[in-house]
C-alpha cells in the first residue's frame, strides 16, 4: 500500500460549507449528525462504541443476515466486474465483507468508499485494501444531503471517482447504504438516494429495527443501546470541543415521535446554566433550561421500511431479518 492516498473531496465538505452547516446546527439547536464524525477523535470514539454495541459485531446471527444479503446480490449480478459504492461507508467493515464475498466468487471488484468524514473514508480504504487493489479504490468525501450534483458525479462511470489514470469501468453498480437511514429524516435522504440508483443498479440497505410484535415496546427495549457511557462520551465531544463544559447541563435520552409513523431515540443536552458558544465572530447564547438536540436514531419495522422505500420508487426484492428482530438487510432495485 502506498504511503499517500488520493481522496476526492466534494465541495459540500469544503470548509466554508461545513462552517455554514455548523452555524445552522447551532442556530436551530438541532445538530446535524455529520458533526459527530468530523474529527479523528470522534471517528475513533465511534468506531470503538460500534465495536461494542453494534449487533453486526457481537451477534453472529446479525452478521449472517448481511452475508445472506451479500450472497443474494452476488447471485443476481451476472457481470464479471462489480463496482461497490459505499454511501456513508463508516469504517468500511461491512463493505469489505461484501467485497471479499464478491472476490471469492471470481468477480473483479472496484470500490468507492464515500462518507462525509475524511477520517472514515481513509479507515474504510485501508480496510478494503486487504481485498481490493489500490488502483480499483476511489475514496470520496461528500455530504450526501447537500451535494446537489451527485447524480452527475456518481453516474455510471462515476466521474467523481475516476481521473485520467483511474477509470472505473461502466459495470454493474452495487450501492450500499448500511446503518444510515436511522439518522436522517427519511424525506431528506431518500429522494437523494433514489436519484442515485439507476435501473441496472442494485441497492443493499440496512435499517435498525424495533424488535418484537409491539412497536412501542420494541423501541423502549433498545434504549440502553444508546443511553450508555461510550455513546454519551462520543456525542458530548461535539459540545466539549466548542467550549461547553460537562457541568453546564445534562444529556438526556428519550423516545419521540417522528414522521412516517416512526419513533426514534433522541439525545438532548439540557443546559442547567447559561453558556455562550462562539464560532469565529458568531455567538450563540444558551439560557438555563434551553436544550440542543445532539442526535436521533429512527427505529423501523420491516413493513415500515418497505412502505417508505416504495414511496421513493425503491422496491425490496429480498430481505433478511436478524432473529433478535433488531436489524434488517434489504436488497432493492428501482
Ligand atoms: C452509523 S454510521 C454507519 C457506518 C457504516 N455504513 C456501517 O454500517 O458501519 C453513519 C455514517 O454516515 C456518515 N455520514 C453522516 N452524515 C453524512 C452525510 N450527510 N453524508 C455522507 N455521510 C454521512 C458518518 O460519517 C458515518 O460514517
Q: What local confidence, expressed as pLDDT, does residue 156 receive?
A: 46
Contact status, residue 308 vs residue 260, Cβ threshold 8 Å: yes
Span 214-238, mean pLDDT?
95
If one counts every other C-beta atom within 10 angstroms of the C-beta of residue 135, the result is 10
Handedness of CA 190, 193, 199, 203 (dihedral sign): negative
Sheet strands (E) in the chain: 8-9, 81-87, 108-115, 140-141, 172-177, 202-208, 249-257, 263-271, 275-279, 282-286, 291-299, 315-321, 327-333
Mean per-residue pLDDT for 103-118?
96
Predicted local confidence at residue 148, as pLDDT: 86
Is 0.85 topped by the overall pTM? yes
Q: CA-CA distance, 183 to 189, in Å (whole number)? A: 10
Give nearest CA residue, ligand 1 atom 18: 143
Q: pLDDT tens digits for 60-98?
A: 999 999 999 999 999 999 999 999 999 999 999 999 999
Average pLDDT over residues 245-250: 98
**pLDDT band (50, 70, 90) for residue 159:** very low
For residue 149, the model assigns a pLDDT of 86
Residue 169 predicted with pLDDT over 90: no
Distance between CA 188 and CA 13 in Å, rounded? 18
Residue 58's pLDDT is what?
A: 83
What is the crossing angle of helices 60-76 and 93-104, to 10°?
Answer: 50
Give the mutation target among 17, 90, 183 for probing the ligand 1 site: most ligand atoms within 8 A of CB: 90
Average confidence (pLDDT) over 7-32: 97
pLDDT for residue 153: 63
- Whole-angstrom CA distances from 272 to 28, 73, 294, 310 are 19, 51, 16, 44
CA distance 141 to 129: 17
Pocket test for ligand 1, best of 13, 115, 125, 185 (most atoms within 8 A of CB): 115
Q: What tens digit of pLDDT does each residue of 253-285 get?
A: 999 999 999 999 999 999 999 999 999 899 999
Ligand 1 neighbours, Cβ below 6 Å, are: 33-34, 37, 88-90, 94, 115-117, 120, 143-145, 178-180
Whether the per-residue pLDDT at 248 is higher than 60: the answer is: yes
Mean pLDDT over all residues of the chain?
A: 93
Cell triple for 35: 458533526
Q: Grid coordinates representing 68? A: 445472506
Question: Percent of the chain scored above 70 by pLDDT?
Answer: 94
Percent of the chain with pLDDT over 90: 87
pLDDT at 11 over 70: yes
- CA 91 to CA 122: how far, in whole Å? 8
- Shortest-distance atom of ligand 1 to CA 143: 20
Identify the band that residue 304 occupies on the pLDDT scale cut at 50, 70 and 90.
very high
Distance from C-alpha of 193 to C-alpha of 209, rounded to nearest angstrom: 20
Q: Are strands 202-208 and 172-177 parallel, antiparallel or unpaired?
A: parallel
Amino acid at each position: 500500500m502506498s504511503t499517500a492516498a488520493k481522496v476526492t473531496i466534494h465541495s459540500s465538505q469544503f470548509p466554508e460549507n461545513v462552517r455554514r452547516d455548523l452555524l445552522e446546527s447551532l442556530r436551530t439547536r438541532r445538530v446535524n449528525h455529520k458533526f459527530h464524525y468530523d474529527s479523528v477523535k470522534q471517528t475513533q470514539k465511534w468506531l470503538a462504541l460500534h465495536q461494542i454495541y453494534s449487533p453486526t459485531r457481537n451477534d453472529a446471527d446479525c452478521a449472517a443476515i448481511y452475508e445472506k444479503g451479500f450472497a443474494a446480490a452476488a447471485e443476481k449480478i451476472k457481470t464479471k466486474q462489480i463496482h461497490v459504492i459505499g454511501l456513508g461507508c463508516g469504517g468500511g467493515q461491512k463493505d469489505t465483507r461484501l467485497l471479499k464475498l464478491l472476490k471469492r466468487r471470481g468477480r473483479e471488484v472496484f470500490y468507492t468508499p464515500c462518507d462525509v468524514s475524511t477520517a472514515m473514508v481513509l479507515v474504510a480504504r485501508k480496510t478494503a485494501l486487504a481485498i481490493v487493489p489500490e488502483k480499483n479504490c476511489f475514496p470520496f468525501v461528500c455530504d450526501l444531503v447537500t451535494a446537489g450534483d451527485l447524480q452527475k458525479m456518481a453516474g455510471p462511470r462515476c466521474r467523481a471517482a475516476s481521473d485520467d489514470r483511474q477509470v472505473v469501468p461502466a459495470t454493474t453498480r452495487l450501492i450500499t447504504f448500511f446503518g444510515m437511514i436511522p439518522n436522517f429524516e427519511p424525506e431528506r435522504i431518500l429522494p437523494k438516494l433514489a436519484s442515485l440508483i439507476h435501473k441496472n443498479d442494485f441497492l443493499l440497505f440496512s435499517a435498525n429495527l424495533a424488535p418484537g410484535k409491539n412497536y412501542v415496546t420494541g423501541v423502549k427495549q433498545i434504549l440502553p443501546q444508546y443511553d450508555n457511557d461510550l455513546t454519551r462520551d462520543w456525542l458530548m465531544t461535539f459540545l466539549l470541543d466548542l467550549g461547553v463544559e460537562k457541568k453546564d447541563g445534562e444529556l438526556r435520552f428519550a423516545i419521540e415521535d417522528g414522521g412516517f409513523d416512526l419513533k426514534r431515540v433522541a439525545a438532548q443536552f439540557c443546559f442547567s446554566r447559561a453558556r455562550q458558544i462562539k464560532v469565529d465572530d458568531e455567538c450563540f447564547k444558551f439560557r438555563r433550561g434551553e436544550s440542543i438536540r445532539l442526535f436521533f436514531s429512527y427505529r423501523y419495522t420491516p413493513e415500515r421500511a418497505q412502505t417508505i422505500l416504495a414511496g421513493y420508487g425503491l422496491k425490496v426484492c429480498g430481505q433478511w431479518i436478524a432473529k433478535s428482530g433488531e436489524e434488517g438487510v434489504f436488497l432493492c432495485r428501482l
